[in-house]
Amino acid sequence: MTDRTSQTDTARTWFETLRDRICAEFESIEREAGSDAAFQYDSWSREEEGNEDPGGGTRGLMKGKVFEKVGVNVSTVRGNFAPEFAASINGASAENPGFTATGISLVAHMANPHVPAVHMNTRFLTTQAAWFGGGADLNPPLPYEEDTDDFHARFRAACAAHNPTYYERFKKWADDYFYIPHRGVHRGVGGIFYDHLECEDDAGFERNLAFTKDVGEAFLDIFPKLVRRRMESDFTPEDKAQQLEWRGRYAEFNLVYDRGTLFGLKTGGNIDAILMSLPPEATWS
């Protein structure tokens, strides 16, 4: 019999390990720039009436010389969806609203407008079903074709190691998802996005966990390279103005369309952790 609790613990352990490695790498970049910035960690506990073990998480936040604001969250929560929300979740219903979710979520807003902002999230959810989802996407205020190509190439390789159809499917999913309809523009230059990689048995869990791990490894490999490539670039007031206006678009997407933001708010997550994705400064023309 499949042990969903054990699977959740296994996934959580990976997400926490990945968090620690990412934060260490980002702090190393700050040291290279002559900064002593470090992540500050705040733990939080979820509350749900009648639930003795609703879980919680840890928000890691750093504000430095290179990373103007970067948040790395890991959470593991369990409980029941509200009936009207349950109907929108794979494997849940008003009659069976129970869920467990564990995952890592990262958003980095950079001080230098030549350095791309980035988002990465991977997660494991169980209802009456169980599945992995996530991905990563690059969000440069001042796009460079070389950076975009290298980012996509790294995730293409991660996908190809598991399924020859993954990259094209998940790239299109990211293109379709990270789109701002009221502006008629994409949020960034894309990446990959996937959901509902079903774990019907132990073999499915191991297979999809292995892929999700490789997504995390791909991110940890490529994004620091892009940061180091651009972090000492000179920029003009016009470059900074473009970055701040672009950040306004980023905020619009996350507050109006992002499913992760909605999921966190609907399940009693920590508001500061959920909204850490918003940029420290933004403008609207």
Q: How confident is the model at residue 50 (pLDDT cuts 50, 70, 90)?
A: confident
* % of the chain at pLDDT higher than 70: 100
More confident position, 126 or 96: 126
Mean pLDDT of 227-244: 98
CA dist 27 and 21 (Å) reads 10
Distances 146 to 17, 30, 63, 220, 225 between C-alpha atoms, Å: 30, 23, 27, 18, 12
pLDDT at 79 over 70: yes
Q: What is the pLDDT of residue 230?
A: 98
Instruction: Quote the distance between the C-alpha of residue 254 and its chain's center.
Output: 12
pLDDT at 35 (0 to 100):
98
100 burial via Cβ count (<10 Å: 0-12, 13-18, 19+): buried
- Whether 2 has a pLDDT exceeding 80, the answer reads no
Tokens (6 digits) for 63: 């504000």
- Band of pLDDT at residue 1, cut at 50, 70 and 90: low
How would DSSP label each residue in 19-83? Answer: HHHHHHHHHHHHHHTT-----EEEEEE---TT-S--EEEEEEEE--SSEEEEEEEEEEEEEE--H
**197 DSSP β-pair partners:** 132
> Hey, which residues are catalytic here?
119
pLDDT at 85 over 90: no
Cβ neighbours of 111 (radius 10 Å): 19
The secondary structure of residue 178, as a DSSP letter, is S
**Mean of the per-residue pLDDT values of the chain:** 94
pLDDT at position 52: 76
Task: Report the pLDDT value the prediction gives residue 244, as an integer from 0 to 100.
Answer: 98
Task: Give tens-digit pLDDT for 150-197.
Answer: 999 999 999 999 999 999 999 999 999 999 999 999 999 999 999 999
Contact 130, 124 (CB under 8 A): yes
Residue 31 pLDDT exceeds 80? yes
**Per-residue pLDDT for 258 more than 90?**
yes
pLDDT in tens, 113-162: 999 999 999 999 999 899 999 999 999 999 999 999 999 999 999 999 99
pLDDT value of residue 76:
95
For residue 92, which of 78, 76, 81 has the smallest C-alpha distance?
A: 81
Whether residue 58 is predicted with pLDDT greater than 80 in this model: the reply is yes
At 82, the pLDDT band (50, 70, 90 cuts) reads: confident
CATH of 4-277, one of 3.40.1500.10, 3.40.50.11860, 2.30.110.10, 3.40.228.10: 3.40.1500.10
